[in-house]
Amino acid sequence: WKTGLGDVDQLEDSQGMMFVFPTSAQQTFWMKDVEYPIDIVWVDDLTVVGSVTAYPETTNNAGDYVRYVSPGEVNMVLELPAGTMAMQQIEVGDTVILR
C-alpha cells in the first residue's frame, strides 16, 4: 500500500491501481515517487464518494508531501490517469464494477 504507483513509470489510459482495504476508514494518500498526475477516486462499498486530482511529488510550505485525504470512510481507492474522471464522466454516486 505504501509504494502504490511509486514504482510505475506511467499509466496508460485503460490502466489504474485499486487499493482494497479490510474495513472502511478515512484513507490518506501521497504522491511520493510518482512522476505524473493522477485522479484519486474514493470508493466505499463500490460507490464513488469523491475524487481529487493529485500532482507529482507536490509538497507544502514545510517541504512535506501533500496528503490527499478521503472525504469520509472508504474501503477502496482507485488511482487513474489524470483527467479520467472528467473524460469518462464518472461522478459521485456512480457504482464501481469490478471485473
Q: Which pLDDT band, with edges at 50, 70 and 90, does 6 fall under?
A: low
Cell numbers of 4, please? Answer: 502504490
Mean pLDDT of 5-34: 82
The answer to whether 10 and 85 are in contact (CB under 8 A) is no
pLDDT in tens, 32-69: 888 889 999 999 999 999 999 998 877 777 778 889 99
On the 0-12 / 13-18 / 19+ scale of CB atoms within 10 A, 78 is: buried
Beta-strand (E) ranges in the chain?
17-29, 38-44, 47-54, 68-81
pTM of the entire structure?
A: 0.86
The answer to whether 49 and 96 are in contact (CB under 8 A) is no
pLDDT in tens, 72-87: 999 999 999 999 999 9
